[in-house]
Each structure stands twice: as structure tokens, then as C-alpha cells.
Amino acid sequence: MPTFVYPIAGILFGLIIGSFLATIIIRWPLGQSVVSGRSRCDSCEKQLRAIDLIPVISYLLRSGKCANCGVAIKSDHLIIELSAGLIGGLALFVAPGIDGMLGAIFGWLLLTLAALDAQHHWLPDRLSLLLAAIGLAASVAVDDPDFINRLIGGLVGFISLFLIGWGYQKLRGREGLGGGDPKLFAAIGCWLGWPALPLVILGAALIGILSAMTMQIRGQAISADSALPLGSFMAITAFPLWIAQIMIGGNLL
């Protein structure tokens, strides 16, 4: 197969996966079933027809409105679909083959976690655990990082953030880290290996500073109590780091 087929397949498959992920991201926090039941309009609950289920295209055809009730479909749908398409395309562009397919799965799960943390300050344990498990298992198919490196990444990732969170709570008497952050950091370590962990924190901190500055410029109040989604920032950092590791062909540090 010519290599250009891979990224194109990655984009198309990513758009379809993204449509499913958008449903999870919108319904899961509401306690609604994600897998059972057909796709429905989030507003009038009318079952969607096949023509309404084509990622991006359906949205554009309907100008972002439900065909039945005319209520605007959450633009989250479109953003998640496009992001998932981009992730699939990039992953299979830098690594056409099994590495790229695994990288796409990494990116899609990170996207889901980033969106849930940004909107609901919630990193579902089950999702982080799934991410960690696939990361460790991926060492069977991908040589680098090897299993031990990934395992250490998982352990060091969890313990380091857990201790920081625990220390902060002792010192300040309130929670400074979400309970899901150490688990997500561990899961990222299971994919990138332990040497990448400082870079994940560095990247997340930079994004955090930038978003705090953006909030300030927009006149939004920020204080020491403002909860910025560290999980989202780590997830957003981790996927480009995976790409960088693939392109360099090893650890960045």
C-alpha cells in the first residue's frame, strides 16, 4: 500500500471515531448510556437517521442544527470530530503502520480525557486505566519505549504526582491536584516512557501559564483557588511529545 493511504485512512477513521467520542464526552458526565440506544439529538432526543451520522458533513449539511427540532447541535461535536480526524491523520503520517495506529489510539483517548477534564474537571479512572493498559501492551508491537521503560514511567508518573498532591494538601489544607491527575500522568508514562515525564509536566505548566494569561487578558478573575485542568494540559502535551519521539526515533531527553 502506498504510504499516503495511511494518513488519509487515519483522517477518515478519526472522523468516525471522533463522532463516537463526542457522544461519550457529552453523555457520560450526564450519566446517560453511551453505547446502548441509537444516536439521538441531544435536545429533542429524536433518533438520528443514517444521513445525520456522517461526521462533519452532516453537521455542515444541516448548518449545525437538528433536522427535527432545529436546535443548534453542540459545536463540541464538530470540534471533537475534527480533532480526532487530525490526530488520526498526524499519527499515521509520522508513522504509517502499527506504531501510527497505536499512536492514533493514544491521541483519541487523550482527546477524550482532555475534553472531560476541561468541561467537567473529571478524569474517569476507567479511561486512564484503559490508556495505561494499552500503553503497556503496546510494547509487544512497538520496540521503543520498551516494556520496562513504560512500566517505570507508569509507576514514577503516579507516585510523583500523588506525592505532590499529598504534600500540597498537607501544606495548604486543600486539594491542589485532582484525584485523577496522578493516574493520567501514570498512563502517559506507560506510553512515552519515564524520561518523557518531565517534559509532559513542563509542557502542561506552559499551557497552564498561557491559559491563565489569556483569562487575565479577557478580564476573567483568577485566584490561587482557580482550578485549571492540569489533566487537559498534560493530555494536550503528551500527543505532540509522542510525535516528536517517533520523529527523533527515541527519547527526547
In the list 5, 8, 30, 44, the residue contacting Zn ion (rule: CB under 5 A) is: 44
Q: 44 or 159: whose CB is closer to Zn ion? A: 44
Among the residue ranges 43-51, 90-98, 145-153, 173-181, the one whose residues contact Zn ion (CB under 5 A): 43-51
Residues in 57-116 at the binding interface with Zn ion, rule: CB under 5 A: 66, 68-69
Burial of 205-214, coded b for 16+ CB within 10 Å and e otherwise, reads eebbeebeee
Q: 5 or 44: whose CB is closer to Zn ion? A: 44
State the nearest-atom distance from the C-beta of 84 to Zn ion, in Å: 23
Q: 45 or 125: whose CB is closer to Zn ion? A: 45
Among the residue ranges 41-49, 100-108, 153-161, 206-214, the one whose residues contact Zn ion (CB under 5 A): 41-49
Q: 57 or 159: whose CB is closer to Zn ion? A: 57
State the nearest-atom distance from the C-beta of 48 to Zn ion, in Å: 9
Q: 75 or 169: whose CB is closer to Zn ion? A: 75
Can you tell me which residue has the cell 463540541?
76
State the nearest-atom distance from the C-beta of 78 to Zn ion, in Å: 16
# chain residues binding Zn ion, by CB under 5 A: 6
Q: 24 or 41: whose CB is closer to Zn ion? A: 41
Among the residue ranges 34-42, 140-148, 175-183, 238-246, the one whose residues contact Zn ion (CB under 5 A): 34-42
Among the residue ranges 23-31, 37-45, 147-155, 196-204, the one whose residues contact Zn ion (CB under 5 A): 37-45
CB 98 within 8 A of CB 144: no
Q: Measure CA 38 to chain center.
A: 24
State the nearest-atom distance from the C-beta of 119 to Zn ion, in Å: 21
In the list 12, 16, 24, 41, the residue contacting Zn ion (rule: CB under 5 A) is: 41
Residues forming the site for Zn ion (CB under 5 A): 41, 43-44, 66, 68-69
